[in-house]
């Protein structure tokens, strides 16, 4: 994970290896492109190596927060998709610009590889139209937190209760139990990066023979 959301401060890189250990380092650069290059190099160099080199990368997946009404599935990125992500920046001003920046940097590094966007807002696309539009259009952020609430709904007979406010804004390893819950409800890492990778791996790219 590369964190470049801290303005005017060096970038922070956190890498997890197969034995579960984390390698955390604050980079000596504030430039996002250089930070991403360092992240990529960690894939095939040093203790964090997982592949032999960049030639093993077949496609690139991006998490994009807001896809509006148009993007309901993993989507092959092209100029029109990037422009639409840019147009949706007012609806996700903290996230879509960074998402777009990452896309364009990876295009520069890997111009011949397909890039796929996986949208947070796609989670609620199967909701009935009346539910999505009343009282205001609902795109559906924090999709994973909704899954947690659904999983706990059937546990009321055990006096297990979730605190919706804690659940929505929690970080991994948080306690999201309601004050009257007889059991603690803990949030573990969701491996969100694996969910995105799986979506991209199963995506049928026109330019891929898989």
Closest by Cα among 23, 31, 22, 25 to 12 = 25
Q: Tokens standing for 156?
A: 């009321």
At a CB cut-off of 8 Å and minimum separation 6, what does 80 contact? none
Helix, strand or coil, per DSSP, at residue 113: coil
Residues 166, 174: Cα–Cα separation, whole Å: 9
Residues 41, 163: Cα–Cα separation, whole Å: 41
Establish how many alpha carbons lie within 13 A of residue 94's alpha carbon, considering only the half-sphere containing its beta carbon.
3
175 in Cβ contact with 160 (< 8 Å): no
- Spot the catalytic one: 120, 163, 175, 180: 120
Active-site residue flag, 120: yes
Q: Tokens standing for 32?
A: 């996002």
Main-chain dihedrals φ then ψ at residue 166, nearest 5 degrees: -60, -40
The CA-based angle 164-170-172, given to 5 degrees, is: 130
Active site residues: 120
């Amino acid at each position: 994970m590369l964190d470049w959301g801290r303005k005017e401060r060096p970038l922070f890189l956190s890498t997890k290896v197969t034995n579960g250990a984390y390698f955390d380092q604050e980079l000596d650069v504030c430039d996002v492109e250089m930070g991403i290059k360092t992240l990529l190099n960690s894939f095939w160099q040093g203790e964090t190596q997982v592949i032999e080199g960049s030639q093993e990368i077949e496609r690139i997946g991006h998490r994009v927060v807001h896809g509006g009404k148009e993007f309901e599935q993993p989507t092959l990125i092209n100029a029109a998709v990037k422009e639409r992500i840019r147009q949706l920046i007012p609806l996700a001003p903290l996230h879509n610009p960074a998402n777009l920046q990452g896309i364009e940097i990876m295009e520069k590094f890997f111009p011949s590889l397909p890039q796929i966007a996986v949208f947070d807002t796609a989670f609620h696309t199967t909701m009935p139209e009346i539910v999505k539009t009343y009282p205001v259009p609902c795109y559906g952020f924090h999709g994973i937190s909704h899954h947690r609430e659904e999983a706990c709904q059937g546990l009321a007979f055990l006096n297990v209760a979730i605190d919706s406010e804690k659940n929505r804004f929690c970080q991994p390893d948080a306690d999201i139990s309601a004050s009257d819950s007889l059991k603690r409800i803990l949030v573990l890492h969701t491996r969100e990066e694996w969910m995105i990778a799986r979506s991209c791996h199963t995506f049928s790219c026109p330019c891929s023979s898989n």
